[in-house]
Chain A
Amino acid sequence: MKYLDEYRDGRVAAKVLAEIRRVTRRPWTLMEVCGGQTHSIVKHGVDRLLPTEIELVHGPGCPVCVTPLEQIDKAHVIAASPGVIFTSFGDMLRVPGSRTDLLRLKSEGADIRIVYAPVDAVRIAQENPDRQVVFFAIGFETTAPANALAVARAKALGVSNFTVLVSQVLVPPAMTAVLQSPGNRVQGFLGPGHVCTVMGYAEYEPIAAHYGVPIVITGFEPIDLLDGVLRTVRLLEAGAARVENQYSRVVSRAGNTAARRLMWSAFEVCDRKWRGVGTIPKSGLRLRWEFREYDAERRFQVGALETCEPAVCISGQILRGLKKPHDCPAFGTACTPASPLGATMVSAEGACAAYYTYGRFQESVTTHPVTTP
Chain B
Amino acid sequence: MCLAIPGKVIEVFEDRGLRMARVDFVGTVRKVCLEHLAEAGPGDYVLVHVGFALSRVDPEEAERTYQFLAELGQLDELQAPETT
The answer to whether A349 and B51 touch across the interface, beta carbons within 8 angstroms, is no
A contact residues, total (Cβ < 8 Å)? 58
Determine if A145 and B52 form an interchain contact, defined as CB atoms under 8 angstroms apart: yes
B47 proximity list for chain A (CB < 8 A): 194, 197, 250
A-B contact pairs, 12 of them (CB 8 A): A1-B26, A2-B8, A35-B1, A64-B1, A89-B50, A146-B52, A149-B33, A157-B16, A197-B55, A249-B57, A250-B55, A258-B38
Residue picked from B38, B54, B64, most chain A C-beta under 10 Å: B54
The distance from the CB of B56 to the nearest CB of chain A, in whole angstroms, is: 8
With known contacts A6-B66, A18-B72, A197–B54 Cβ distance under 8 A = yes
* B38 to A, closest residue via Cβ: A258
- When C-beta atoms are compared, the residue in chain A nearest to B54 turns out to be A197
Closest residue of B by beta carbon distance from A373: B76
Q: Which of A105-113, A116-124, A268-276, A282-290 forms contacts with chain B?
A: A116-124
Contact (Cβ within 8 A) B51 A91: no
- Within 8 Å of chain A (Cβ to Cβ): is B22? no
Q: How far is the CB of B7 from the nearest CB of chain A, in Å?
A: 9
Contact assessment for A256 and B55 in the assembled complex, using a CB-CB cutoff below 8 Å: yes
Q: Is A328 an interface residue (CB 8 A)?
A: no
Does A316 have its Cβ within 8 Å of any Cβ on chain B?
no
Nearest Cβ on chain A to B44's Cβ, whole angstroms: 12
Partner of B54, one of A11, A18, A120, A259: A259
Judge whether B49 and A250 touch: CB under 8 Å: no
Which of A44-52, A136-144, A292-300 participates in binding chain B?
Answer: A136-144
Contact assessment for A250 and B57 in the assembled complex, using a CB-CB cutoff below 8 Å: yes
B:45-84 near A, CB below 8 Å: 45, 47, 49-52, 54-59, 61-62, 64-66, 69-70, 72-73
Query: A62, B1: Cβ atoms under 8 Å?
Result: yes
Q: Give the residue name and chain of the B residue nearest to A260 (CB).
A: B36
Bound CA span A2–B1, Å: 21
Q: Which residue of B lies closest to A3 (CB)?
A: B6
Residue of B6, B57, B62, B72 contacting most chain A CB atoms (<10 Å): B72
- Contacting pair A256 B65 (CB below 8 A): no
Nearest-neighbor residue (CB-CB) of A40 within chain B: B3
CB-defined contacts of A140 to chain B, threshold 8 Å: 1-2
- Give residues in A with beta carbon < 8 Å to B: 1-4, 6-7, 9, 11-12, 15-16, 18-19, 34-36, 61-64, 89, 91, 116-120, 138-140, 142-143, 145-146, 149, 153, 156-157, 192, 194-195, 197-198, 220, 223, 227, 246, 248-252, 256, 258-259, 262, 347, 349
Question: What's the count of A-B pairs with C-beta under 8 Å?
Answer: 137
B3, B18, B30, B58: most-surrounded residue (chain A CB, <10 A): B3
Bound CA–CA A9/B65 (angstroms): 13
Instruction: Find out whether the CB atom of A227 lies under 8 angstroms from the CB atom of B69.
Output: yes
By the criterion CB–CB under 8 Å, are A15 and B69 in contact? yes
Assess the B4–A194 pair: CB atoms within 8 A: yes
Q: Please pick, from B6, B50, B59, the residue contacting A146 in the complex, using a CB distance under 8 A.
A: B50
Is B37 in the interface zone, CB < 8 Å from A? Answer: yes
Q: A3-B45, A119-B33, A248-B65 are in contact. Are A143 and B50 (CB under 8 A)?
A: yes
Q: Nearest residue in A to B33 (C-beta to C-beta)?
A: A149
Inter-subunit contact A256/B4 (CB<8 Å): no
Asked whether A142 lies within 8 Å of B49 as measured between CB atoms, the reply is yes
A117–B29 CA distance with the chains assembled, in angstroms: 14
> Please, which residues of chain B bring their CB within 8 A of the CB of A251?
55
Q: What string of 1s and 0s marks CB contacts (under 8 Å) between B6-29 and chain A?
A: 101000000011100000011000
Decide if B66 touches A12 in the complex (CB within 8 Å). Answer: yes
Least distance between B41 CB and chain A CB atoms (Å): 15
Known: A146-B49, A227-B65. 4 other contacts (CB 8 A): A3-B62, A12-B72, A118-B50, A194-B49
When C-beta atoms are compared, the residue in chain B nearest to A15 turns out to be B72
Q: In the assembled complex, how far is the CB of residue A261 from the closest CB belonging to chain B, in whole angstroms?
A: 8
- In the complex, residue of chain A having the shortest beta-carbon distance to the beta carbon of B58: A249
Residue contact B70 to A15, C-beta cutoff 8 Å: yes
Query: With A7-B66, A12-B66, A223-B69 known to touch, is A117 a contact of B52 (CB < 8 Å)?
Result: yes
A36 and B1 contact, Cβ closer than 8 Å, known pairs A15-B70, A262-B36? yes
